[in-house]
């Protein structure tokens, strides 16, 4: 039954290739737009998640300060002892590190620039997933004594050393001279726009002594063992810190904990919403494409009135005619969506590297667009098909 309609419909499409193509142009553009937007959107999400993960997946960043209004006006800073307490008392920690961040003028051989300086304990490299391209990490001795040794980012190496071997060379940071012991592997821009390769890392004590002049720790970075629950760990971390900071039962926390996973989720959900919105706009164009099919099919039915009369005279029943036009509209919509999918894939493959995001093929959106187009073909093809099927054969034959 249907095979006859498919045969007749394909013949009709083949007979009018140009018109058929113009009919489905709306669908082609609609599908291509939907899929390209969603594909690019997915790629962007993946990229952002990747970048945030580079900070270290599952990091808790603990800082003194209020999470809500009404707490202590001047929250006490953390001390190195807090870091030791967390390390020894909380289970499920992969690495924990203290961090002090400041900035300083760095000078060497007449080149000088202001750059960010991190004073950290050695676990920092583990927590932040930093690796060294050459050189060594800090030793326990470096840290305990607060030696002025440093690890430099790839960009710092480029601007101060060019082709020179930096290991063992001195670098003047503010008033102190530090010796370069390692070079960090290049990472490029972070998801938040700062150049992560323009950093100099020193032992915490060295920075405290020579740059900040206090024993305060600004930030504690806790990397969570992925097999442990972030929520549980966060809860025990809060109770430990409240205890150490002697907060009474009703008092608000005077420190904040930022979960990188939350950042990832937040950023990803923003991208998802954007993708969904743009996708919806594109879906409307798909709908308009469907109306285009209906328009052309209606014109086509009028133009082919005589042909329909001939078909009826030689024995087509109303259902034959109805199905032929319905199948024609549906086939056109399906063909259009296939062309649209192909265009979208080509477009995404071209756009992805330009936007420097990964190409993520999503079979669901492709299949969904295809099925939605088929549905549009059926829905918008039905009205013209019915009109064709209800023609009076005598009048149709007389039609010029």
Partner 1 sequence: MTIPVIRLRGVTKSYGSGEGAFHALRGVDLEVTAGSFVAVMGPSGSGKSTLMNILGCLDVPTGGSFLFKDVAIERLSKDERAILRRRHLGFVFQGFNLLARTTAIENVELPLIYRRDEHHRRRAAAAAALDRVGLSDWAQHTPAELSGGQQQRVAIARAIVTAPAVLLADEPTGNLDSQRSTEIMTLLTELNQASGITILMVTHEPDMAAYAQMTVYVRDGLIDRIERADGTGSTAC
Q: Contact residues for partner 1 (CB under 8 A)? A: 1, 4, 7-8, 11, 15-16, 306-307, 309-320, 393-394, 397
CB of 315 to partner 1, least distance (A): 2
CB of 53 to partner 1, least distance (A): 59
With beta carbons less than 8 A apart as the criterion, state whether 59 and 233 touch: no
| CB of 181 or CB of 321, closer to partner 1 | 321
DSSP character string of 246-288: T--TTSPPSEEEEEHHHHHHHHHHHHHHHHHHHHHHHHHHHHH
CB of 16 to partner 1, least distance (A): 8
CB of 36 to partner 1, least distance (A): 35
| HEC string for 30-93 | HHHHHHHHHHHHHHHHHHHHHHHHHCCCCEEEEEECCCCCCCCCCCCCECHHHHHHHHHHCCCE
For tokens 């060379």, the residue is 169
| CB of 284 or CB of 299, closer to partner 1 | 299
| CB of 14 or CB of 68, closer to partner 1 | 14
CB of 22 to partner 1, least distance (A): 17
Q: What is the DSSP letter of 135?
A: E
| CB of 16 or CB of 172, closer to partner 1 | 16
d(CA 24, CA 322): 20
CB of 2 to partner 1, least distance (A): 11
CB of 310 to partner 1, least distance (A): 5
Give the pair of three-digit tokens for residue 342. 């192909």
Number of Cβ atoms within 10 Å of the Cβ of 58: 20
For tokens 């009709």, the residue is 12
| CB of 320 or CB of 362, closer to partner 1 | 320
With beta carbons less than 8 A apart as the criterion, state whether 377 and 333 touch: yes
CB of 30 to partner 1, least distance (A): 29
| CB of 112 or CB of 392, closer to partner 1 | 392
DSSP character string of 347-382: HHHHHHHHTT------HHHHHHHHHHHHHHHHHHHH
The β-bridge partners of 182 are 135, 151
With beta carbons less than 8 A apart as the criterion, state whether 52 and 265 touch: no
| CB of 299 or CB of 313, closer to partner 1 | 313
| CB of 16 or CB of 234, closer to partner 1 | 16
CB of 329 to partner 1, least distance (A): 19
| CB of 286 or CB of 316, closer to partner 1 | 316
Burial of 53 (0-12, 13-18, 19+ CB in 10 A): middle
For tokens 């020894």, the residue is 88
With beta carbons less than 8 A apart as the criterion, state whether 355 and 42 touch: no
């Amino acid at each position: 039954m249907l095979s006859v309609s498919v045969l007749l419909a394909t013949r009709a499409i083949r007979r009018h290739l140009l018109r058929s193509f113009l009919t489905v142009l709306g669908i082609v553009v609609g599908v291509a737009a939907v899929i390209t937007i969603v594909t690019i959107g997915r790629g962007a999400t993946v990229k952002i998640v990747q970048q945030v993960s580079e900070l270290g997946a599952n990091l808790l960043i603990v800082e003194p300060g209020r999470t809500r209004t009404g707490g202590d006006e001047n929250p006490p800073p953390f001390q190195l002892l807090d870091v030791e307490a967390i390390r020894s008392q909380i289970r499920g920690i992969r690495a924990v590190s203290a961090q002090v961040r400041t900035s300083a003028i760095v000078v060497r051989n007449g080149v000088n620039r202001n750059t960010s300086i991190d004073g950290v304990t050695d676990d920092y490299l583990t927590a932040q997933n930093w690796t060294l391209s050459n050189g060594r990490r800090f030793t326990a001795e470096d840290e305990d004594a607060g030696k002025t040794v440093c690890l430099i980012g790839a960009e710092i190496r480029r601007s101060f050393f060019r082709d020179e071997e930096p290991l063992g060379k001195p670098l003047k940071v503010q008033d102190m001279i530090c010796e370069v012991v390692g070079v960090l592997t290049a990472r490029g821009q972070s998801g938040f726009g700062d150049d992560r390769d323009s950093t100099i890392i020193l032992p915490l004590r060295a920075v405290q002594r020579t740059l900040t002049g206090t024993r305060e720790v600004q930030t504690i970075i806790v990397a969570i063992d992925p097999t442990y629950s972030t929520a549980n760990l966060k809860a025990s971390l809060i109770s430990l810190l409240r205890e150490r900071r002697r907060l009474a039962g009703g008092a608000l926390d005077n420190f904040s904990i930022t979960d990188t996973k939350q950042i990832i989720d937040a950023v990803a959900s923003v991208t998802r919403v954007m993708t969904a919105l743009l996708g919806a706009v594109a879906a409307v164009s798909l709908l308009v494409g469907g109306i285009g099919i209906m328009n052309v099919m209606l014109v086509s039915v009028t133009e082919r009135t005589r042909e329909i009369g001939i078909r009826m005279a030689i024995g087509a029943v109303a259902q034959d005619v109805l199905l032929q036009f319905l199948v024609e509209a549906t086939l056109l919509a399906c063909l259009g969506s296939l062309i649209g999918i192909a265009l979208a894939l080509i477009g995404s493959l071209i756009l992805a590297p330009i936007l420097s995001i990964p190409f993520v093929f999503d079979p669901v959106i492709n299949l969904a667009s295809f099925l939605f187009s088929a549905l549009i073909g059926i829905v918008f093809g039905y009205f013209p098909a019915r009109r064709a099927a209800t023609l009076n054969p005598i009048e149709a034959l007389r039609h010029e």
